[in-house]
Amino acid sequence: MSETAAGPAHVATVSFLASRVAPTGGFWIALAGGTALARVAERRGLREGFGASVAAMLETVAIIGPARFGVPLTQALSAPVLGRFEARSVRFLAQFLACAAIRLAHNTLTTAFFIWVITGGLDAYAGTYDALARRVGIEELGDGGALVLTAAGLLGWAAFASAVQVAVYRRGLRRWPDEPRARATPAPEPARPARAPARFDPRAIVLAAAIAFALLLASTSWSPLAAVAAWLGVAWAVARPEREGVATGLVLAAALSAGALAFGLGGGLGLDVALRRAARAALLVLVATWLRAAARAEGLREVARRALGRLRRVPAAPEAARVLDRIGSERRLAAAGRALFDSLGAVPKRPLPVADAVLGWVAREAAGFRVAAPRPPSTLRARAADAALLAAAALPTLALAV
C-alpha cells in the first residue's frame, strides 16, 4: 500500500474539470476520474477514498468556481463505495444497485431543484410537457403524466449509467498494474507574472455570494432581482476579478436562462413570470462566476482548507485536507491533458480500445504524479472593505419587504 491518494486525486481533478467544462458528455469524461478515486478506496480504505474525492471536487471549484458542480458529483459520491466493494470482491449486481441508488437520489434532487427553482414549479414543468404532447397528437398528460415520464427517464438513465460505470471501474481496477511505469513528469512551467492581490478577503467573498444565493432562492420578484443585479454589478466593478472562466460562466448563464424562459412560456406562466424566472437563473450562475473571479483559485483553496480544518472531527475531512495540500496547482493540468491525447493518438476509434487507453493513462498519470510541496497557510485579515462588501450584499434583503 505504498500508493498515495494524491496521484489519483490529481487524475480525478483533471477528469472532473473536463466533465464540468465540456458542454455535453460529462458522464463519460468523468469515468476516468471516478476510476482513480475507486482505486484509492480499494487500496487505502473508504475514508481515504472520500477524502480524495472531496479534495478533487474542491480543487475543481477553486479552478473554475461552483458552476456545473453536479456534473461529476454522482461519480465523486459513488466511486469510493464501488472501490471498497471491489476490494471485498462484491459482485457486479450489488455494486450496480448501490451505484444506481446513489445516482437516482442525486438526479432526483437535481431534477426537483430544476422543476421548483429554475422552471417555476410543477405547473410550468408539466405545462411544457403538455404543449409538446399536443404537438404530436397526444392528449393532455397533466402533472401526474409529466412526473411519470420524468421518473421513467431518471430510472432508465440510472440503470444504463450505473451499469456502464461499474463495468468501467471494475475493468480499470482489475487491469491496474501493481507498479505502473511512471510517466516522466515534465519540467515545471514558468511562474506566472505577478498579479495584483485580490481586493477582498476570500472569506468575505464566499459569504457575500452565499447571501446573494439565498436572496435569489427566496424570491423571484423584480425588486429583489434588480437589487441583487445592482449589487453584483458594483461588486464586479470593485472586486478586481480575474477573467479566467468568465466567458464560460456567461455562456452557461445564457443557456440556463433560455431554458427557464422556454419552460415558463411553454408551461403557460406568462411572459412576466417567465422573464423573472429566467433572470433569476442567469443571476445564480453570474454570482457563482463572480465568486470564482473575485476570490481566485488561491483564495478558494484557502477557504476550503480552513473549512476542512474546522470539520476535522468529520470522517474524511482530515484526509481531504491532506490531499488538497498535495494536489498542486492548475498548472499541471495541461501536461496531463497532453499526455492523455498522446496516449489516444494511435488507438483504434472503437469503444473498448479507447476505454483501455484512457484507463492506462489513469494508472500512469496517478503513478507519475509528484506530490506538491505543502503550501504555507495564507494570511487572511478582514478589513473594513470586507465588512462593506457583506453589508452591501445584505442590502437587497430590504427589497423583500417592498
CB–CB of 81/302 below 8 Å?
A: no
What the block records as the C-alpha cell of 231 is: 449589487
Rounded Cα distance between 253 and 283, Å, is: 7
Cut 0.85: pTM above it: yes
Count Cβ atoms below 10 Å from residue 309 Cβ, excluding itself: 12
Count of alpha carbons within 13 Å of 271, Cβ hemisphere only?
0
Taking only the tens of pLDDT, the chain with its 402 residues reads: 456 899 999 999 999 999 998 888 999 999 999 999 999 999 999 999 999 999 999 999 998 888 889 999 999 999 999 999 999 999 999 999 999 999 999 999 999 998 888 887 788 888 877 777 777 777 677 778 888 999 999 999 999 999 999 999 999 999 998 765 544 444 344 444 445 567 899 999 999 999 999 999 988 899 999 999 999 999 999 998 988 878 888 988 999 899 888 888 877 778 998 899 999 999 999 999 999 999 998 899 999 999 999 998 999 999 999 999 888 666 678 788 888 888 888 888 888 999 999 999 999 999 988 876 666 667 788 889 999 999 999 988 887 766
For residue 248, the model assigns a pLDDT of 84
E strand spans, 19-70: none
For residue 377, the model assigns a pLDDT of 67
Contacts of residue 86, Cβ cutoff 8 Å, sequence gap at least 6 = 38, 42, 95, 169, 170, 173
For residue 238, the model assigns a pLDDT of 93
Rounded Cα distance between 172 and 31, Å, is: 10
Angle between helix 142-174 and 92-113 (nearest 10): 140
CB–CB of 298/378 below 8 Å?
A: yes
Rounded Cα distance between 10 and 36, Å, is: 9
For residue 116, the model assigns a pLDDT of 86
For residue 103, the model assigns a pLDDT of 97
Q: Is 90 exposed, middle or buried (0-12, 13-18, 19+ CB in 10 A)?
A: middle
For residue 269, the model assigns a pLDDT of 78
Rounded Cα distance between 145 and 270, Å, is: 22
CB–CB of 305/251 below 8 Å?
A: no
For residue 196, the model assigns a pLDDT of 59
Look at phi and psi of residue 366 and say left if phi exceeds 0, alpha if psi is from -120 to 50, else beta: alpha
Rounded Cα distance between 28 and 23, Å, is: 12
